[in-house]
């Protein structure tokens, strides 16, 4: 069994302050999607989001293994945060004049993390920190010097390497003693950041337009969507992740697929929804364009379907309710282009509320107050 720390580790104030940088970064990625809804625009947004997300993941792993309330570790976290801030600053023009700033800032962040994590990963050989410091960081920097499709190709290659290395190194990384209570809280906070961005996007777009009853209704429905997405994750799924980590024979076999990989799907889905929400609020009584409808309904479907992936990884069971709801979202997508945007988003809200109501019925059926961990049965069925 993987060794774990004796006492539960809590998120520190330094980490919460560090997260503010990534609020800005998520906002900037959502802005890229808002400006370009096409498939190529979505791919470009994903290509620049992965390095930002991976820098956050690396810092979270550092904070999990070290006491970041110590001066040296805290300064390291803040230094990585500055690099993340430069990446966020570069994002609006990352594919134009600020490509080098984006790539070099990522490389600097990964070199800092390599220095901070070198001892913890001693003997692991190739790992996410060595790969980022000596492969993907240089690739992003070279991409920043290139132009057009060459830049996109180099950055996409770097993103693919970052995603692939933890899978390839999974056996050697299994020996690392992560603290299991800290990581679910950290990744849940990133979901909160993404959901908060969806609310902020709704308010920002609405504030720049004339106040009309339809626009106010669209803001209310957008907030209801964010609340429903929050409910799906935090009422039962967050507890299911904690339970899976506590009971896993090898914690890394849950950490790797469910936290860094699974949450990339959760957060990507929410960012897509946030970008589409702005379009609904801009034109609540017009029909959605196909690309906007794909972001709204497809992003929600991705978010829900990811629960199917994570639950299979944790418990080897099928998340019937959430996969069915994801299928319903995809089925509603073609219809969304024939009705007013406000009506389409209201239908999406109804589907999410129905999912949460149905899962509440399941929770009531399986709740066992005599258990030390009373919602274990529920989490295994709805998480």
Nearest of 49, 310, 19 to residue 162 by alpha carbon: 49
Check residue 1 and give its pLDDT.
41
The mean pLDDT of the chain is 88
For 199-223, the pLDDT digits (tens) are 988 898 899 999 999 999 999 999 9
Residues 383 and 310: their CA atoms lie apart, in Å, by 8
Cα–Cα distance, 317 to 198 (Å, whole number): 31
Q: pLDDT tier at 373 (50, 70, 90 boundaries)?
A: very low
pLDDT reported for residue 366: 65
Tell me what pLDDT residue 228 has. 97
- In this structure, of 13-17, 125-129, 279-283, the range with the lowest mean pLDDT score is 125-129
Express each pLDDT in 240-279 by its tens digit.
888 888 887 767 778 888 999 999 999 999 999 999 999 9
- 373 vs 175, more confident: 175
User: What are the angstrom distances between the C-alpha of 78 and each of 45, 46, 129, 179, 334?
Assistant: 25, 25, 18, 22, 46
| DSSP bridge partners of 340 | 287
With 0-12 / 13-18 / 19 or more C-beta atoms within 10 angstroms meaning exposed / middle / buried, residue 240 is: buried
Residues 301-338 have pLDDT tens digits of: 999 999 999 999 998 899 999 999 999 999 999 999 99
Read off the pLDDT band of 123 (50, 70, 90).
Answer: low
How far CA 245 is from CA of 142, 167, 175, 185, 380, in Å, comes to 39, 18, 15, 12, 13
pLDDT(118) > 50: yes
The structural domains of the chain, with segments of one domain joined by +, span: 1-179, 183-383
What 3-state DSSP class applies to 274? helix
Listed in sequence order, the residues at least 6 apart from 16 whose beta carbon sits closer than 8 Å to its beta carbon are 189
> What percentage of the chain carries pLDDT values higher than 90?
67
pLDDT of res. 124 = 67
HSE-up of 66 (CA within 13 Å, CB side)? 26
Averaged pLDDT for residues 282-304: 95
pLDDT at 126: 81
Question: pLDDT tens across 124-155, in order?
Answer: 678 889 999 999 999 999 999 999 999 999 99
Quick check: 383 pLDDT over 60?
no
Cβ count near 149 (within 10 Å): 9
Distance in angstroms (rounded) separating the CA atoms of residues 227 and 239: 18
Q: What is the pLDDT of residues 99-117, one digit of tens each?
A: 999 999 999 999 999 999 8
Q: Do residues 190 and 263 lie in contact, with contact meaning Cβ atoms separated by under 8 Å?
A: yes
pLDDT of residue 380: 52
Query: How does residue 169 score in pLDDT terms, banded at 50, 70 and 90?
Result: confident
pLDDT score at 105: 97
- Segment 33-44 shows an average pLDDT of 89
CB distance 215 to 355 below 8 Å: no
Per DSSP, what are the bridge partners of residue 287? 340
SS3 313: helix
Q: Which residue, among 245, 263, 354, has the nearest Cα to 306 in the 3D structure? A: 263
**Residue 313: closest CA among 354, 255, 362, 360:** 255
Query: What pLDDT score was predicted for residue 244?
Result: 86
Phi/psi-derived region of residue 352, left when phi > 0, alpha when psi is between -120 and 50, beta in every other case: alpha
pLDDT > 60? residue 33: yes
Is 132:56 a contact under the CB 8 Å cutoff?
A: no
At residue 122, does pLDDT exceed 80?
no
pLDDT of residue 363: 77
Q: According to DSSP H, which parts of 66-175 are helical?
A: 71-90, 99-117, 128-131, 137-145, 148-168, 170-173
Q: Which residues contact 337 (CB under 8 A, 6 or more apart)?
A: 287, 288, 289, 290, 293
Picking from 227, 198, 186, the residue whose alpha carbon sits closest to that of residue 295 is 198
What pLDDT digit, counting tens, does each position of 331-368 carry? 999 999 999 999 999 999 999 999 999 998 887 776 54
Give the integer Cα–Cα distance in Å for 359 and 354.
Answer: 9
Q: Please give the model's pTM, rounded to 2 decimal places.
A: 0.90
Taking residues 9-31, report their average pLDDT. 91
The confidence score (pLDDT) of residue 175 equals 74
Pairwise CA distance, residues 147 & 134, whole Å? 22
């Amino acid at each position: 069994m993987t060794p774990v720390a004796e006492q539960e580790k809590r998120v520190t104030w330094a980490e919460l302050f560090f997260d503010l940088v990534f609020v800005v970064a998520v906002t900037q990625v959502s802005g890229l999607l808002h400006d370009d809804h096409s498939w190529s625009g979505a791919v470009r947004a994903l290509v620049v989001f992965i390095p930002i997300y991976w820098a956050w993941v690396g810092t979270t792993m550092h904070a999990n293994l070290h006491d970041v309330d110590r001066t040296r570790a805290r300064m390291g976290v803040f230094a990585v945060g500055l690099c993340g801030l430069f990446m966020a600053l570069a994002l609006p023009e990352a594919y134009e004049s600020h490509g080098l700033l984006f790539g070099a800032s990522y490389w600097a962040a990964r070199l800092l993390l390599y220095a901070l994590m070198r001892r913890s990963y001693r003997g692991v050989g190739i790992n996410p920190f060595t790969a980022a410091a000596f492969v993907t960081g240089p690739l992003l920097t070279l991409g920043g010097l290139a132009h057009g499709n060459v830049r996109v190709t180099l950055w996409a290659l770097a993103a693919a390497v970052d995603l692939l290395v933890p899978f390839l190194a999974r056996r050697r990384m299994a020996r690392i003693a992560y603290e299991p209570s800290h990581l679910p809280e950290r990744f849940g906070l990133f979901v909160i950041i993404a959901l908060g961005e969806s609310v902020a996007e709704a308010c920002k777009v609405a504030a720049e337009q004339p106040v009309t009853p339809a626009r106010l209704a669209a803001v209310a429905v957008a907030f209801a969507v964010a609340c429903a997405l929050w409910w799906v994750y935090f009422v039962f799924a967050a507890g299911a992740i904690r339970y899976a980590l506590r009971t896993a024979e090898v914690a890394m076999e849950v950490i790797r697929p469910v936290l860094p990989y699974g949450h990339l799907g959760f957060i990507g889905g929410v960012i897509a929804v946030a970008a589409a929400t702005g379009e609904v609020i801009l034109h609540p009584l017009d029909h959605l364009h196909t690309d906007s409808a794909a972001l709204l309904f497809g992003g929600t479907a991705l978010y829900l379907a990811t629960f199917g992936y994570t639950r299979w990884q944790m418990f080897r069971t099928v998340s019937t309710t959430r996969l069915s709801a994801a299928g319903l979202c995809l089925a509603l997508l073609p219809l969304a282009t024939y009705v007013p945007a406000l009506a389409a988003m209201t239908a999406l809200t109804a589907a999410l509320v129905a999912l949460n109501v149905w899962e509440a019925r399941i929770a009531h059926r399986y709740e066992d107050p005599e258990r030390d961990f009373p919602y274990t049965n529920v989490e295994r069925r709805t998480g």
